[in-house]
Structure 1
């Protein structure tokens, strides 16, 4: 097992003093217990310090002399300001680092009062170098950051080998061992997955539904790492996290501004909460079948037109890596008291590298939901809810959280959240730097094939959002495959069957590659080799039929919750002549109809159905590219959707105005 390396950087412009400090602290590290591999190095200027912090992902802490001179080397007050400026720069570059300052004892009161406002972790006396004491403090602080309270306790409990007289029924895997029918599953999964699969009957592992011990401690450490006031672990994925927040904030009839491009869980949250949604059409790139952000102008108009809205939810970044310039949008919403929720399911890693920042929380969002499992090292379904809303009613939140959370959570999933946080806090910057370098290399290699082309930000954005400050997450790579001579389905099958490569998603003429902290150089090489071999086949480009463009949102006649809970009836999309059923026009949908991917509803409960929507759904069913249609029910071979009956509508109150 590889051992960690933790470098601590000292910044002092006096060469002899710096040399003595580094020598003394390294001697202390050799003399005392050093499980984190702490070593000390020194630089003489702010510029050198920032360069080292940017280049060296092993740096875990920085000690800055408060007398560090600025570039101009002027008066003492200016020198101190220079040291504080360096502290600010360090936090802007890598907020996870511990930062300490060296001060003169006689200036303690003045300096400490200043430092308390600067999120500095501590200070040492320059003229009284207690190397052993300093080392113990630094080591303890790093140990605290590297601490995984829940995982450690789970591991401890498993190694205690207690006899299980409680759920789950496999009883630490004993039901499977020795079974001629099921032992292969035990051997495939490994013994610890079963020994760690425990029950809320084990008090020492705390309760996810009412945490007061190690789960609460793990959540507090996560909140600090991700820059939140409070963090809650979710074991039902970000889908449930979104529903919990919406149900907490919204009462029936409350207005919610939402990107129509939001994940289906948001639209489910609208039904559950009884909210009145104001749908914002996202920008659409019909050339590549991609959905982008809502234009800023549309968002600002919606905010001004709906100042009584309770909340707004946006997705940043999108599935394809497009991220909003969030700060002005959040500020505009907050001017009218509108809470802002950002679905960061695909962007949980952003806090740990300046290339991806600012995060939603850093831009002022009240809530952020993150799929820790999507881009970090947690198990599938493991997510986090980050809260910065100072007015959060935690009791109401907890009641809604518990309404959606299983009373039998998967403890290994909670442990994976604990470990994923630790890894990002301790080596996230290093791993993301590697991922960014691999992304740049892969992009260059793909373009070098001469057949496949990586789409740039300008290719992905429509004109209406090109001036909105939208940025692209470079770890999501969208590739134009239209010149390769295969349809996208044929290409995916070829990559899977011949080259053992599974991609993230596709449109009719693109594939999307997701790079994470688990991407390796060898994987990049294998993918490039596969694409180069395919490009050398020299196949003539095929005519690729575009997936029909999703129609714009029409209007709501009833609250989505009211329409959903009606009985309704199934109505066919096709008539007796196998043509578009024109009789559906004007009817009201009782369900959410979602083409997947990308998962954007073409109909929501309560929405008026138009001829364009019917044609879109029929054309999608007949499309060359296979698309799941969630909400479409097949009566034999006949595709149907659930709509309201006349009797249903008589029992509902229409909305006063179109939304």
Structure 2
């Protein structure tokens, strides 16, 4: 498919626009034009803004600033704020004013020279630089060299699979190029993820420019590892970390590994739908004020269900106390590339942001990024921690997919996200039109205590209330899969979540809307499903020791349920060694070092012994049923008692 792009020419002079357009069009016809660069015209600032909003193929702007520098500067700032991936050039007559020195301008042209061929070459070179994929290109070039492999991996470019009567089908299934590209650090031209100086370093620099970071690091084992690397870089044993209780479990693992002293902040809960939201702003600000010694604040934005903080006032308060802000933006990797989703965490001032690039952009599973804007960034310490958690044999296809995903986001992300928003809006309307299923809106999802706090909803995450269908969500999930060949993202008791992404097509949308319409029409007057409201999570009991100290003890197993089938009261007062997490919703009930009280024990017994048993991580199942690992009396006695967290 031929590439297509446009430079938007902006001038109040129609004669000047005609001259510019004719000159660049003539150059495009005579010179190599690998990006299909054409021209679009705007006679005013408002027309220019409208054009970049409606045309995703506009990737460059050329603004005529002659005699109107102040107006041109305002337009340049507005264009950059609306679509920061645009490259912006200025047409001048004479020397530019000093005001342009801090403007987001890529270059200048002088009207007196009118070198249209030279200008066209510069604009084409700009597109080449923006769309470059240094690592992917090097990987593809190496595969095309067809070098004999006398190094790892052992399948030797797929030769051990090819022709095998036992595993030859795997070669056919995954494809030759994927296996030829599965290489090792024995290939110097492909750089080193652990100490990049070549094509990986250049690819990371391009990613930093794209996402608005000072530095970006590619990660091949997900945001889970990214979170641990950041926390271990920022926190020494005993340092205080403020974190929302509903952080991803990798954050809680990072607490254990870093030896941090956590202060857990209470989650907001929508009990009707079993969904957890952001922290109340007052809760965060109070924690910052109460713990000025804290080293870092860890937040999740957006949540799995698409709820986003208004981060700027929180970041400002944290920074005023010298606290670094880390934002898990795993589910919001696309936010930078369309104004409907911005501002992002980086744009709101966060110091560190983790991205599961595979979730919202076109990277392969496990491919992730860490973005850094910390002015006090300790690059050496970060690299040491990064290398501690990273494989010395990274999967090169994952790195290449990060390079490619960044290129796509910059070059066509706006257009694809505009399409995704249109599809999401239409799907929302068609689901609601069934009269049985309903897409939850922001006011349905946000707990009451967050009203007025600027919480926003990612419209590409559609949470559907299935209560009126008379069936539990899990049953509908199975029907969609088995009968309609549709796989959903997740369910709670009475909701199903559908994700609209860059890869969502109108055909997929039509099939889903049709399936839900058919299921709605087949509802034969059955009663609506009785709401199953989640009991509130028990309050976090005080920590008896650091999570790290409890986790690394041997401990002993104690059954949750006693001989009479009731809660085993012997657990009350014991100290958990493990993190206990029910799914859904994935929020820890217990963390290592936390004392078990009657409320926690009763909650866990209900989860594992109720009419609808839940999946619970952190419990061990043996002949005595569900057991919890707790500190032994001797281990507990050996640990100094204290009050290390809230």
TM-score normalised by L of structure 1: 0.96
Q: In structure 1, what is the equivalent of residue 202 of structure 2? A: 217
CA–CA distance in structure 2, aligned partners of residues 151 and 637 of structure 1? 53
* CA offsets 1:289-318 (integer angstroms, 9 cap, x no match): 000010000000000000010000100000
Secondary structure at 1:123's aligned position in 2? Answer: strand
* 8 A contact 2:572–2:597 mirrored in 1: yes
Specify which of 294, 297, 321 is matched with residue 306 of structure 2. Answer: 321
CA distance in 2, matches of 1:519, 1:551: 39
Check whether the contact 1:64–1:101 (CA below 8 A) recurs between aligned residues: yes
Counterpart for residue 437 of structure 2:
452
Measured after TM superposition, the shift of residue 643 of structure 1 is 0.6
Aligned to 1:72: none
User: In structure 1, what is the equivalent of residue 352 of structure 2?
Assistant: 367
* 2:61 matched residue in structure 1: 62
Contact preservation (8 Å) 2:262, 2:645 = no
2:218–2:402 CA contact under 8 A, matched in 1: yes
1:573 aligns with 2:560: yes
Q: CA deviation at 1:658?
A: 5.2
Task: Give how far 1:424 is off.
Answer: 0.1
Q: Which residue of 2 aligns with 1:83?
A: 72
Contact 1:487–1:544 at 8 Å: present in 2 too? no
Asked if 1:397 corresponds to 2:382, the answer is yes
User: Paired residue for 1:130?
Assistant: 115
Q: Which residue of 2 aligns with 1:638?
A: 625
Question: Which whole-Å deviations, capped at 9, do the CAs of 1:635-656 have from their partners, x for residues lacking one?
Answer: 1360111011111111111224
Structure 1 residue 119 displacement after superposition: 1.8
Deviation of residue 114 (structure 1)? Answer: 2.4
1:623, 1:100 → 2: CA distance? 65
The answer to whether the 8 A contact 2:437-2:469 is kept is yes
* Matching of residue 532 in structure 1 with residue 531 in structure 2: no
1:428 aligns with 2:417: no
Q: Does 2:91 match 1:102?
A: yes
Identify unmatched segments of 5+ residues in structure 2: none
Contact 1:547 1:623 in 2 (8 A): no
Instruction: Give distance in 1, aligned partners of 2:596 and 2:271.
Output: 22
Deviates more, 1:596-605 or 1:208-217: 596-605
Where does residue 551 of structure 2 map in the other structure? 564
Unmatched tracts of structure 1, length 5 or more: 68-75
Partner deviation per Cα, 1:12-64 (whole Å, 9 max, x = no partner): 11111110110110110111111111001211100100000000001000000
**Alignment RMSD:** 1.1
Query: 2:564 and 2:359 mapped to 1: Cα distance?
Result: 45
Give the number of equivalent residue pairs: 644
Per the normalisation by structure 2, the TM-score is: 0.98
Task: Pick one of 611, 628, 649 that aligns with 2:598.
Answer: 611
Whether 2:26 is the aligned partner of 1:41: answer: no
Q: State yes or no: 1:407 paired with 2:389.
A: no
Call closer, same or farther: CA 1:9–1:625 in 2, change over 3 Å: farther
Distance in 1 (CA, whole Å) between partners of 2:487 and 2:567 is 36
Superimposed CA distance per residue, residues 66-106 of structure 1 (whole angstroms, 9 cap, x where no aligned partner): 13xxxxxxxx5xx32111000010011000000000000x3
Q: 2:368 is matched with which residue? A: 383
Would you say 1:335 and 2:334 are equivalent positions?
no
Q: Deviations over 1:428-473 (max 9, x none)?
A: 0000000011111011000000000111101111111111110000
For residue 468 of structure 1, what is the aligned residue in structure 2? 453
